[in-house]
Amino acid sequence: MPSKRKQVRPTTAPVARTARGAEGDELTTAHGLRLSDTDHSLKAGPRGPSLLEDFHLREKITHFDHERIPERVVHARGAAAHGVFVANGAAASVTKAAFLAEAGRETPVFTRFSTVLGSRGSADTVRDVRGFAVKFYTAEGNVDLVGNNMPVFFIQDGIKFPDVIHAGKPHPDREIPQAQSAHDTFWDFVSLHTEATHHVLWAMSDRGIPRSYRTMEGFGVHTFRLVAADGATSLVKFHWKPVAGVHSLVWEEAQLAAGTDPDFHRRDLADGIDAGAFLEYDLGIQVLPDSAEETFEGIDLLDPTKIVPEELAPVQVIGRLTLNRNPDNYFAETEQVAFHTGNLVPGIEVTNDPLMQARLFSYLDTQLTRLGGPNFTQLPINCPHAAVNDNLRDGMHQTLVHKGQVAYLPNGIDGDLPRVSDQGYVHLPREVEGPKVRANPVSFEDHFSQATLFYRSLTEVERVHLVEAFTFELGKCYEQPIRERALAQLANVDTDLCAEVAAGLGLKAPKGKPAKDVTPSPALSIVVTEPGPITGRVIGVLAVPGSDLTGIARLRTAAKARGAVVRVIAPIGGILSADGKEEIIERTLLTTRSIEYDAIVLADGTGEFKDIKSTVLLQEAFRHCKTIAAWGSGEQALLAAGVDTTAPGIVLAAKSTKAFTTAVLDAVGLHRAWARADHVMQS
């Protein structure tokens, strides 16, 4: 462990400054007003909405929104695609929003995926939260569902968002480490704000390093209110369920990809769409009663650090999203797209979740610097597909030439147009009252029980990965008190989890009080037991001159029928020829690594071949529990590379047959041979 860095102090007094800052020991506003609370936004009662008069919230968020020019402060590293959403009609009973309610209605969409902490030049595969933002171009106006690949967040109140991001970003003195949370300031923050515990477990789990965007869930995070045509209301949580299943990288793969292909996820997205392997997700909702308490089975629905287990409220599918077209220009579309949680249509409303309340201000405000003024909605990627007559004028980058003499209502000059609509958005009348306070409701104080629920819902191999992630991240912290505080948190989650992480750090495990009466939620585990779809997956076939090209062609045809891709790997480039057949060599051993493939197959004819690069390729795939297969003499090459062919997830055959190719593709559908994990550790 590196020794603690010493802060070197200047031996002479600093030169007097005209601009004043960082003076005194008490927190103030930028105008010098001392503050008594910076963790709670000002609300109308503990459960009420945040108030516009909260000058500290607005100043803190405004300054944060404009910290980066021109890059996004967060979610800077992104990739996107166009597509279509088709509703199935199942939502008609709970919302009058036509794009969700009408069966068969098609709505164009633009979806942007991203990491949170890294800069635009950072790697795709770092351990981080992923943004999952969808812009629906509905006939009633744009709707933005701006979520993440995790259903909970670090904080309960949006006023802390600048703080958690400042903690997660690189240290300001050295601008390192980039795009990762394995450092002192992040763990200092989350160990002092125990509300982050649940989200930290999600981030340290395999969910923090997804295999691809096509195998990543998405969540709206907050609880929304839906309004039906008859005025009835329901509370809902939005879920994106990937048709391809939920799969992850293993940690070594993520590190390898960051070095050899930092564009791993965006390349997979673009290449998959170009190959016709479109990304598909089912949009589902958990429908919950809109009670006065806004709770369900004891779970506070306004707390963004909590989930509602799917076993208690099943996810009802209301439509499907298909991403089928790549952007024409990264800057014009992916970079300039602007999302806003307040982009809604009749039938969808927000709730008093204090994280959401701050987002309603922040998303709109941040575009003013990033996109140069208030007219960013005129950029093609942000333009609604509905008619616009907004009475907004002038400003930076105004591209419209407005006619007429007035921009106000009512008016007696331009025919009193535009008029307000009797079909316009109307906020559902709801009572709002309470003392002005900076506080959270008492129900927000449970910071550990759902973290315990998450951990105890994982399979053994997922728990091992979680322990390794915590040990790695905390092992990167210099400050001993930070590691000790983090362990104290884990002690309140699960005794075994805390003990294993403490052992890895060489520290004594503290005692805690983890919840005892937690019912596991199997839906939280991403390990599958039955083969799933393999659309967009990649199978590498190692071949040499003289290999069985007929068998390769058979595997390629079968894989293509199931949406997967076969790539031929050989020692050098060119074309393999035999018996009038040809196979183009798509990768060489010098230009590829195991991270590129979901399975490695050795063709007959490779029995005498041995190369250090192929050995590394196979051994990495073996360690990462990927499917490894061979037919004919390919088995000899596996043995020569030190691969134990008796281990789980190894598919062997004397000849390439239909049964062999089916077995290989089914094994890929399991994502990994997790049963091999113990075998790898023992060997």
Residue 12 lies in a domain: no
Dihedral sign, CA of 54, 55, 60, 62? positive
**Is 454's pLDDT higher than 70?**
yes
Q: Which residues in 5-32 are b (16+ Cβ under 10 Å) and which e?
A: eeeeeeeeeeeeeeeeeeeeeeeeeeee
Query: What is the widest separation between alpha-carbon atoms in the chain?
Result: 90
649 in Cβ contact with 672 (< 8 Å):
yes
User: What values do phi and psi take at 650, rounded to 5?
Assistant: -105, 120
387-394: long-range contacts, CB 8 A cutoff, minimum separation 24: 389/417, 389/418, 391/418
Tally of helices (H runs) and strands (E runs) in the chain: 17, 22
Output the six-digit token pair for 592: 């590829």
Point out the catalytic residue in the list 40, 82, 88, 148. 148
Residue 38 lies in a domain: no
Output the six-digit token pair for 529: 């037991």
97 and 229 in a common domain:
yes
Provide the CATH number for the domain around residue 482: 1.20.1370.20
557 and 510 in a common domain:
no
**Is 8's pLDDT higher than 50?**
no
Cα(503)–Cα(462) distance, integer angstroms: 18
Per the rule left: phi > 0, alpha: psi between -120 and 50, beta: everything else, 247 is beta
Compare 27 and 462 and report the one with higher pLDDT: 462
479 and 543 in a common domain:
no
**pLDDT for position 312:** 98
Residue 357 lies in a domain: yes
**pLDDT for position 309:** 98
With residue 315 as reference, give the H or E element that holds it.
Answer: none
Q: Provide the 3-class DSSP secondary structure of residue 434.
A: coil
467 and 585 in a common domain:
no
Cα(169)–Cα(166) distance, integer angstroms: 5
Cα 495 to the center of its chain, rounded Å: 28
Q: Which of 546, 548, 244 is nearest to 556 (CA)?
A: 548
233 and 126 in a common domain:
yes
**CA 674-675-676 angle, 5° bins:** 85
325 in Cβ contact with 273 (< 8 Å):
yes
61 in Cβ contact with 162 (< 8 Å):
yes
| Residue 20's pLDDT band (cuts 50, 70, 90) | low
Residue 425 lies in a domain: no
Q: Which residues in 408-435 are b (16+ Cβ under 10 Å) and which e?
A: eeeeeeeeeeeeeeeeeeeeeeeeeeee
574 and 618 in a common domain:
yes
Cα Rg of the chain, angstroms:
27
Output the six-digit token pair for 448: 């550990």
Q: Which of 445, 391, 457 is nearest to 418 (CA)?
A: 391
Return the DSSP state at 160: G
**pLDDT for position 69:** 66
Which of 194-203, 226-235, 367-376, 560-569 is the least confident region?
Answer: 367-376
**Is 252's pLDDT higher than 50?**
yes
Provide the CATH number for the domain around residue 542: 3.40.50.880
Domain count within the chain: 3
Which of 323-327, 459-463, 677-681 is the least confident region?
Answer: 677-681
**pLDDT for position 10:** 47
Dihedral, 503, 469, 299, 362 alpha carbons, nearest 10: 140
Cα(164)–Cα(73) distance, integer angstroms: 12
Q: Provide the 3-class DSSP secondary structure of residue 620.
A: helix
Percent of the chain with pLDDT strictly greater than 70: 96
Q: Which of 67, 175, 65, 64 is nearest to 122 (CA)?
A: 175
**Average model confidence (pLDDT) across the chain:** 94
668 and 643 in a common domain:
yes
Cα(474)–Cα(479) distance, integer angstroms: 9
Residue 303 lies in a domain: yes
543 and 520 in a common domain:
no
622 in Cβ contact with 612 (< 8 Å):
no
646 and 558 in a common domain:
yes
Compare 296 and 32 and report the one with higher pLDDT: 296
Angle separating helix axes 495-505 and 480-491, nearest 10 degrees: 160
Which of 32-46, 91-105, 619-633 is the least confident region?
Answer: 32-46
Point out the catalytic residue in the list 40, 56, 75, 465. 75
| Residue 21's pLDDT band (cuts 50, 70, 90) | low
Cα 293 to the center of its chain, rounded Å: 30
**Is 31's pLDDT higher than 90?**
no
**pLDDT for position 404:** 86
Residue 465 lies in a domain: yes
494 and 362 in a common domain:
no
> How is 100-136 classified by DSSP, letter by letter?
HHSTT-EEEEEEEEEESSS-TTS-TTSSS-EEEEEEE
Output the six-digit token pair for 453: 């629920």
Provide the CATH number for the domain around residue 310: 2.40.180.10
Residue type at 612 in one-letter notation: I
Q: Which residue has the tokens 């199942």?
A: 90
**pLDDT for position 681:** 56
Residue 506 lies in a domain: yes
| Residue 330's pLDDT band (cuts 50, 70, 90) | very high
With residue 577 as reference, give the H or E element that holds it.
Answer: strand 575-578
Q: Which of 597, 588, 646 is nearest to 618 (CA)?
A: 597
655 and 563 in a common domain:
yes
111 in Cβ contact with 337 (< 8 Å):
no
Q: Of the candidates 502, 524, 546, which is a domain's last residue?
A: 524
Residue 240 lies in a domain: yes
99 in Cβ contact with 139 (< 8 Å):
yes
Q: Is 148 a catalytic residue?
A: yes
**pLDDT for position 1:** 44
| Residue 455's pLDDT band (cuts 50, 70, 90) | very high
**Is 227's pLDDT higher than 70?**
yes
265 in Cβ contact with 602 (< 8 Å):
no
**pLDDT for position 2:** 44
Its pTM stands at 0.93
What does the chain come to in residues? Answer: 683
Other CB atoms within a 10 A radius of the CB of residue 522 amount to 12
What pLDDT, in 10s, does the model give residues 560-595? 999 999 999 999 999 999 888 999 999 999 999 999
Domain span at residue 483?
450-524
What pLDDT, in 10s, does the model give residues 78-126? 999 999 999 999 999 999 999 999 999 999 999 999 999 999 999 999 9
| Residue 544's pLDDT band (cuts 50, 70, 90) | very high
Q: Of the candidates 382, 406, 430, which is a domain's last residue?
A: 382
Output the six-digit token pair for 203: 């981030």
Angle separating helix axes 161-168 and 354-370, nearest 10 degrees: 70
What pLDDT, in 10s, does the model give residues 131-166? 999 999 999 999 999 999 999 999 999 999 999 999
Q: Is 427 a catalytic residue?
A: no
Contacts (Cβ under 8 Å, ≥6 apart) of 595: 249, 253, 256, 257, 260, 261, 264, 620
Angle separating helix axes 460-475 and 251-260, nearest 10 degrees: 60
250 and 287 in a common domain:
yes
Q: How far apart are the first and last CA of the chain?
A: 28
